[in-house]
Structure 1
């Protein structure tokens, strides 16, 4: 799928009426308490039968096609605790909403997940999820990151946010937190995708961070209010991060990092996969380096990220080059004369220099005088020598950048 270019960020939720009926919304809210995120069987039933009939199937007594009796029993046990009206009231009291496929705010790129598409998303925060997702980049990586990774993630996030991109991550310790904080510090857009309910501060140490993200950006979850995370839910959450964004950047990741799962999902969905290299001696970057060897694009700053995920031909990163040295401004003839002068404060005549430079005597003499005016060489009677470096710098400070032909 090609994600269209987004208009400018909006800080207001969409005011267009939702196209989804109340009964279908209640059914989807109930299903988020019955099915685990990414449940393909439930996804197939939703696609074929719709949410109301799917809910009736899972809470009834008829045999469920395509699943084991044990799994069907699990659905029905969970079905006894559905409380869609209460959950919808909780999200309303939090100032949020339940966004479903068919709503104006639904990010249609999530449909690329097929039957693993979220049943719906519980969202807190004022901005439009669909609008912010159109220009978004995922920044993920190690929880136990180093100072290098934390600095890179925060800097990347701040620069991306200042350029008008939404920074999406998972609110975990390490790289995720650095990414959110970088975007917040820049006064930009950030969204946290959780593996629990939006009202559950997890990890507990990030309660204040999540509060700030809610105030300035968005907090998003597949699970209903009050639900807690599990190991499998963290893994399944990563598919939403990958699908929601134009590309995923991995900053510091070990070989078994969960952030590599996000990268694999991004690759499967046709998104851009990027990695920030680290020291080859660091195990924290081993997973990123393996990713770069196999399938990712190497990036080092926000302009390089934007070039890969932005508009083709418009969001190009500036060309890189080393510092321009004074001798780089010399033309070919002057450079040849300068190269022909002997080192170690030795001298040579114009004739010797002309021979070594492969130029005529008149041309060589003219270039020697120009090099002398620029402070590169000095004269000792009929002989010429290179100017000592300290004197050369002093002479250039009073000169200009005129190029010698």
Structure 2
């Protein structure tokens, strides 16, 4: 009966969830500046009589307490921020904020959780326990809104035993979802390197200390940290995406700026790798007559899906969507600040299929043409409501 009722409510709220998504997508806001998005969420929750509080400035936390006796608490999370990307689509709901776009699907997460909130609120007479609705800001930039909300007590008063999150995946067809138990997503650290030498004329290299050459050696050498120091059974990624020399064809600059990312799936190796990288870069620069400032901005930890919770959640997804619509996922070396929740409580983070080749909904997240097959919203709201109620023991 619970499943059928949820499916009925999900079908009834579908068009409104689509309209929520269109509004949020058309009015994206950058991390920790989601003021209008936050007010929009508050307005919807308030209209349904769902109590809420705010934290981390733009975060919203709603509470739905079932009428039946139970002390169980579960949390559901959606992120609400957008990216500094200029949207290239020409849909009626294309971003109206130039240079800002919901290219990572957070508009889907937010509208879906609003739909889930509606369903659960309509059903509170028939379940016991409390559902905490976490609309979280700032997932896209360090230190991550999750870390701030945890510090401000989002996982207290009441304290959830589990937290569930979903994230769009354009490489999975709409109507399907994907799960992985155990370690799933990577930690991420940002590297900011300044190599200093002595600039001068490119025709007189013997009178200079070339920071471009030093940087080149550093980039190549640091890859050996991964290939020769990491356990080959442990995924590790070191990538540099930004190199700024600002010289010219005949000008050797005084310094070179280098920026990159390091990702892995083990905290001990993560710390050791960063120590080795800093030591190697500084040593190479010094040996070649220059100097190196190697700054590391510590990012998100790795994300782990608690096995028992994930396995039971997967089984519920199979029951709700059909076994043929639930897929196995591989390790994903991208990072997510949902990982902070997974480090302090039982967590399950699964993928919501949003792809459809016939509708050109196949572009990767963070792409200016990213969009979804909105049929995914037919399952996203009801599935999460079903998981929440069943995990509460109803």
TM-score by length of 1: 0.21
Structure with greater proportional strand content: 2
Task: Return the structure number with greater relative CO, CA threshold 8 A, min gap 6.
Answer: 2
TM-score by length of 2: 0.21
